[in-house]
C-alpha cells in the first residue's frame, strides 16, 4: 500500500515542481527556436490569405490530424506493453485496494467524465462571452463547446483505430478520455482567462500548474478506480496536451495574439533598397 500512496503523492508533487521548471527554462527556448519561427511564418501566410478566423479553422483541422498521426502509432506501441506493464500494475492495485481510499478516488475521478464537464463547458462559455461582450464575444462562446466536441471525436477516432480493448472492470480504453477532457476543458479556460485579463507570468504559470495537477490526479484515480490501464492514462497525458496546444494556437491566431515572424535579412535589405 505504501507504493500506491507514494504514487498518489507524486501525482500532486510532480506537476507542482515540473510545470514551473518547464515554463521557465524550456518554453522560452522553444519559442525562440526554428520550429516556432516556421510556425509563425506559416500562420502569417494563412492569416494573410484567409483572415484570422479562417487561419484558425485550418490550423484546428490540420493540428487535429497531426495529433491523430502522432497518437495512433503511439497507441499501437503502448498496446504491446499491456501484458508486461498493464496487467502487473492492474493486479498489484486490485490486490491492495482499500475501501476508504477507493471511495475517495471514486469520488474524485468523475471530474473527468463528460457529464460534469458539459456543465463546466457551458458555464465557462457563457461567462467568458459576457466578459467579452465588448469584443468578439463569439470566440469563447464557440471555443468552449468546440474543444469539448473536438476532444470527444478525436479520442473516438484513436480508440477505433488502435482498438486495444479495456480492463476487465470497466470500458475505459486508449487514450484516457478523462485525462484528456480535464486538460482540454480546464486548459481552454486557462487560455481564455489569460486572453481576458492581464495576468502576470507567474499567474499564467500557476494556471498551467493547476491544469497539469488536475490531469495528474485524474490519471491516478482512473488507475486506482480500475477504469483504465496504466498505458491508457499515459496516452491521455500525451494526447491531451497535444490537442490543447492546437486549441490554444487557434485561439491565439483568431485573437491576433501570436507574435509575428521575424523579418528575414533578405526582405529587410530589399525593403531598404526600394525605400519601403
At 2 the pLDDT is 83
Question: Does residue 276 have a pLDDT over 70?
Answer: no
pLDDT in tens, 121-173: 999 999 999 999 988 899 999 999 999 999 999 999 999 999 998 999 999 99
Question: Does residue 4 have a pLDDT over 60?
Answer: yes
pLDDT in tens, 43-97: 999 999 999 999 999 999 999 999 999 999 999 999 999 999 999 999 999 999 9
**Total domains, the chain:** 1
215: containing domain? 37-258
Q: Is 269 a domain residue?
A: no
Cβ-contact 78, 250 below 8 angstroms: no
Q: Is 26 a domain residue?
A: no
pLDDT in tens, 5-48: 899 999 999 999 999 999 999 999 988 899 999 999 999 999 99
Q: Is 272 a domain residue?
A: no
At 266 the pLDDT is 52
Q: Is 103 a domain residue?
A: yes
Mean pLDDT computed over every residue of the chain: 93
Nearest-angstrom CA–CA distance, 82 and 228: 11
| Alpha carbons within 13 A on the beta-carbon side of 156 | 6
At 275 the pLDDT is 52
Q: What is the mean pLDDT of residues 106-113?
A: 95
At 162 the pLDDT is 96
Q: What is the mean pLDDT of residues 200-216?
A: 96
Q: Is 17 a domain residue?
A: no
3-state DSSP call for residue 10? helix
Nearest-angstrom CA–CA distance, 250 and 53: 9
Q: Is 16 a domain residue?
A: no
Q: Is 140 a domain residue?
A: yes
At 43 the pLDDT is 94
Apex CA 39: angle with CA 33 and CA 41, to 5°? 105
Question: Does residue 263 have a pLDDT over 80?
Answer: no
At 270 the pLDDT is 46
Supply the DSSP string of 228-256, one letter for each residue: S-HHHHHHHHHHHHHHHHHHHHHHHHHTT
Confidence category of residue 268, pLDDT binned at 50, 70, 90:
very low
At 274 the pLDDT is 52
Confidence category of residue 264, pLDDT binned at 50, 70, 90:
low
Question: Does residue 113 have a pLDDT over 70?
Answer: yes
Question: Does residue 222 have a pLDDT over 70?
Answer: yes
pTM of the model: 0.92
At 259 the pLDDT is 84
Q: Is 12 a domain residue?
A: no
Among the listed residues 251, 150, 256, the one whose alpha carbon sits nearest the alpha carbon of residue 191: 251
Amino acid at each position: 500500500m505504501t507504493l500506491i500512496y507514494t504514487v498518489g503523492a507524486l501525482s500532486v508533487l510532480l506537476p507542482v515542481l515540473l510545470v514551473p521548471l518547464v515554463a521557465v527554462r524550456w518554453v522560452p527556448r522553444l519559442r525562440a527556436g526554428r520550429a516556432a519561427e516556421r510556425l509563425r511564418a506559416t500562420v502569417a501566410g494563412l492569416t494573410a490569405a484567409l483572415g484570422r478566423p479562417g487561419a484558425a479553422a485550418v490550423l484546428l483541422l490540420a493540428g487535429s490530424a497531426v495529433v491523430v498521426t502522432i497518437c495512433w502509432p503511439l497507441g499501437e506501441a503502448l498496446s504491446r506493453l499491456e501484458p508486461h506493464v498493464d496487467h502487473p500494475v492492474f493486479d498489484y492495485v486490485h490486490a491492495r485496494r482499500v475501501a476508504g481510499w477507493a471511495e475517495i478516488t471514486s469520488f474524485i475521478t468523475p471530474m473527468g467524465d463528460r457529464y460534469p464537464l458539459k456543465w463546466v463547458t457551458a458555464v465557462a462559455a457563457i461567462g467568458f462571452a459576457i466578459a467579452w461582450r465588448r469584443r468578439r464575444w463569439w470566440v469563447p462562446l464557440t471555443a468552449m463547446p468546440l474543444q469539448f466536441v473536438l476532444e470527444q471525436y478525436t479520442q473516438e477516432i484513436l480508440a477505433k483505430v488502435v482498438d486495444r480493448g479495456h480492463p476487465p472492470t470497466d470500458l475505459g480504453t486508449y487514450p484516457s478520455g478523462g485525462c484528456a477532457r480535464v486538460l482540454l476543458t480546464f486548459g481552454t479556460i486557462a487560455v481564455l482567462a489569460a486572453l481576458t485579463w492581464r495576468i502576470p507570468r507567474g499567474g499564467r504559470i500557476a494556471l498551467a500548474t493547476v491544469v497539469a495537477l488536475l490531469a495528474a490526479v485524474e490519471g491516478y484515480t482512473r488507475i486506482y478506480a480500475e477504469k483504465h490501464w496504466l498505458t491508457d492514462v499515459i496516452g491521455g497525458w500525451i494526447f491531451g496536451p497535444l490537442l490543447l496546444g492546437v486549441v490554444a494556437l487557434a485561439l491565439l491566431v483568431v485573437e491576433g495574439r501570436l507574435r509575428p515572424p521575424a523579418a528575414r535579412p533578405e526582405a529587410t535589405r530589399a525593403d531598404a533598397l526600394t525605400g519601403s
